[in-house]
Structure 1
């Protein structure tokens, strides 16, 4: 007999990380193109890049591009050849392709498709960035990492429902968990969770510590190594910092300069000074009215026993010197926001989109407002002339946090809190996680 509507049973136990049964090859590559994702060029008004995957092909695949129109006759089609690389995983060999599209018109809707073995993908739409004064909506997601298909998919869907006009999506790292023999299955579920968002808007991810793995673990030679999926799964601008060239980059998008850092490389591989020098140059040359930095590890940690002091020492002075507006972060699987020690800006924000939920430290509770535990979130940013609106929503679309930054005619900026419409603060209601861990709220 079915339970009555609204009835609530026992709380479910923690799920497996993927929905792939043992021995399944559901996410093995085929001749049909999949894992299609678009990313911004350095100047996003003039270009973008596309990455996709197939099984190994017998010929070099192409991307076809045309101006999008209302007729199925797309008219003149431009063909661009891809460059490709192979990857071996638990699902066999896959071939990953990349095409950089340049010389485009600003604020123009294009149609593109990518080639497989004797077949093509659907035609996708992609609009280039417009001028600095045009309104822009973008999405920001904290860590996705775990149970992407089961739980993260609803966060991404809700984000797109709240902000259907979003043109840019920023991910703050730890896209997958990795290191469990199911890396390719996890990536398969991350792409499945992203759905039509990934090929249809400019996607800009940061690398987190889970994009790395431990080589020679528990030996004197142990070291962090970037996972093989990262450099093949995304077509990023390629203008990064020395020592972290494949995981750092920057681009200009409609009045915003976005710089992506690699906190894991800075903390564990000794590249903090190189990234700081690179960031100094990137921000110092910016003529955009807004500047946003994305880094996985928070400069002000939210979880107990985190040490990111290297980032605070090397990176924070650069952010302060160049009056960065927002620093978007992840890693600590809670939510928290605060201003810089020296003033209201930058605003440092950490968020989490996935179901893995930690607990806030007393330090975070005392220095950040608002904070949240046990809450899946996404963020919507709207830039309209001299105003930057920020909204954080729960996975069910309820407003959790809001503020705006106002820029006067002289370029000075001030922060304005928005409290109307926010729901009450959320804390973890459980003494231990489903697996009995007191340091986590949910697995």
Structure 2
């Protein structure tokens, strides 16, 4: 009987251990699933790491980035109208720009192709070329009209253990909102700094690839997308990592101080502007970025506006102070009545208003497993808050209102509100309490598996 059960894949309990008994506290896991000294995610002749990026006008086009080995230069993107027969043919071919990158996994070429001149709300298939190999045909739909409803996803930091722990969050988000046409990531996609940078990027792409290939994806750069140069010396400074400008083909319309990490785009009824918080705090570019943001928002003709920045204006974790962001960005956000400010960095959940009633809603969230504890100040000034929880957010925008929902990794509703547009053009925040689960914290866990008391989980 025992042999039969094993052959059928039925787990047998060890002597003295009941099936279904709670497991022991898990030990600290490595950040990637690739053992030290082994290589994985090496570039090859077939395209991989495909990302669909926004064009400044998402109604007329999009951009795609992908990777191959260094045998491929200036490959093609093919575009075909969406159809049901396999006997379709490409209607356009676009030659990509190629950027080299050497890493611990080998010499790679990253490719960027930009597609324009398409009709709003039109559906297409695209594929990208390698060396004698092509990717799958992937579906893309250009943005529709300004008044058409839009569903988008928002993720806080992924950063750690992307393959093992972030995969489930991305999949749950896609199940929760299969109609999503846009995904926003608030920075710290990877951790970096451990000699496995390219492997970490490989696992981030592996965790999110079904989303990245068919949903327009817009990230903000976090501090972990930067590297420390001349560390522990008086000349120490942060420089943007080499992967960032290669992994994404983002709009080239950012501030001159941070041309690769600030940008804006319009998608149906919303203008999205992305700020580089690390540069603002580390390189004193906050004032210049604020002037750029002021001009971008002043020119906005869409009914909704979202600003994304990695570091929160008001910190959730003890010992952090982002006063420079409040000083420089706060007045711009207030002047233009920005609807939402989406943030990450502090690895917990918190929501508050920038100032009084009617001002911008500031949200900080975390999608990955690294979890900090909230400060007393955050608990006193934000509601709801959350600890020890992986989240994703679904936003639905229409002409008359913006509906925001935050879900846990298992799909439970944690936070919800609506920004209702009034007949006179003003907006009102309406709390939506029904269906929310109780607030979560990590009071039940005194320390992490590595013994840290300032975190809920590593």
Please indicate, yes or no, whether the TM-score normalized by the shorter chain is above 0.5.
yes
Q: Which residue is 1:438 aligned to? A: 453
Question: What runs of 5+ residues in structure 2 fail to find an aligned partner?
Answer: 1-11
2:128 aligns with 114
Shift of 1:270: 1.4
Matched residues in 1 for 2:114 and 2:44: separation?
Answer: 23
1:134 aligns with 2:137: no
Q: Quote the offset at 1:341 in angstroms.
A: 1.8
In 1, the alpha carbon distance for the partners of 2:228 and 2:74 equals 34
Q: Distance in 1 between matches of 2:38 and 2:134?
A: 25
**CA deviation string 1:120-156 (max 9, x = no partner):** 0000000000001111110000000000000000000
Q: Which of 373, 382, 394 is the equivalent residue of 2:387?
A: 373
Q: Residue 312 of structure 1: which of 326, 342, 347 is its match?
A: 326
Per-residue deviation, residues 327-357 of structure 1 (Å, max 9, x unmatched): 0000000000011223342100000000000
User: Contact 2:392–2:407 at 8 Å: present in 1 too?
Assistant: yes
Alpha-carbon contact 2:72-2:109 (below 8 Å) kept? no
Task: State the Cα RMSD in Å.
Answer: 1.0
Count of equivalent residues: 443
The 2-side partners of 1:343 and 1:320 are apart by 11
Per-residue deviation, residues 398-438 of structure 1 (Å, max 9, x unmatched): 00000000112321000000011000010112111111111
How many Å separate the matches in 1 of 2:331 and 2:449?
41
Partners of 2:63 and 2:73 lie apart in 1 by 20
Per-residue deviation at 1:4? Answer: 4.8
Q: Which moved more, 1:91-100 or 1:429-438?
A: 429-438
Question: Which of 301, 304, 312 matches 1:298?
Answer: 312
Task: For residue 5 of structure 1, report the CA deviation from its aligned partner.
Answer: 4.9
CA distance in 2: counterparts of 1:422 and 1:13, whole angstroms: 31
Deviation at 1:158, TM superposition (A): 0.3
The separation in 2 between residues aligned to 1:339 and 1:50, in whole angstroms, is 36
Q: Which has the larger radius of gyration?
A: 2
SS at match of 2:445: coil
Q: Is the Cα contact below 8 Å between 2:79 and 2:124 reproduced in 1? A: yes
| 1:11-30 alignment, distance < 5 Å | 11-30=25-44
Q: CA contact under 8 A between 1:214 and 1:225: conserved in structure 2?
A: yes
- Superposed, 1:74-223 pairs within 5 Å as 74-223=88-237
Matched-pair contact (CA < 8 Å) for 1:326–1:345: no
Q: Using the alignment, how far apart are the partners of 2:410 and 2:96 within structure 1?
A: 40
Equivalent residue, structure 2, for 1:268: 282
Report the 3-state secondary structure (helix = DSSP H, G, I; strand = E; otherwise coil) of the residue aligned with 1:160.
helix
Does the C-alpha gap of structure 1 residues 262 and 322 become closer, same or farther in structure 2, counting only changes over 3 Å? Answer: same
Is 2:315 the partner of 1:287? no
Answer with 19-28 or 132-141: which moved more.
19-28
- TM-score normalised by the chain length of structure 2: 0.95
Quote the offset at 1:266 in angstroms. 0.4
Comparing 220-229 with 6-15, greater Cα deviation is found at 6-15
Alignment-derived partner of residue 263 in structure 2: 249
Q: What's the TM-score, normalizing by structure 1?
A: 0.99
**8 A Cα contact 2:177 2:394, kept in partner:** yes
Contact 2:72-2:130 within 8 A present in 1 as well: no
Name segments (4+ residues, structure 1) moved above 4 Å: none
2:49 is aligned, of 12, 20, 35, to 35
Could you tell me how far apart the structure 1 residues matched to 2:109 and 2:214 are?
Answer: 22
Structure 1, unpaired ranges of 5+: none
Mapped to 1, the partners of 2:167 and 2:450 lie a distance apart of: 23
When residues 226 and 59 of structure 1 are mapped into structure 2, their CA distance, relative to the original with a 3 A threshold, is closer
Comparing 55-64 and 172-181, the one that deviates more: 55-64
**How far apart, in 2, do the equivalents of 1:89 and 1:6 lie?**
43
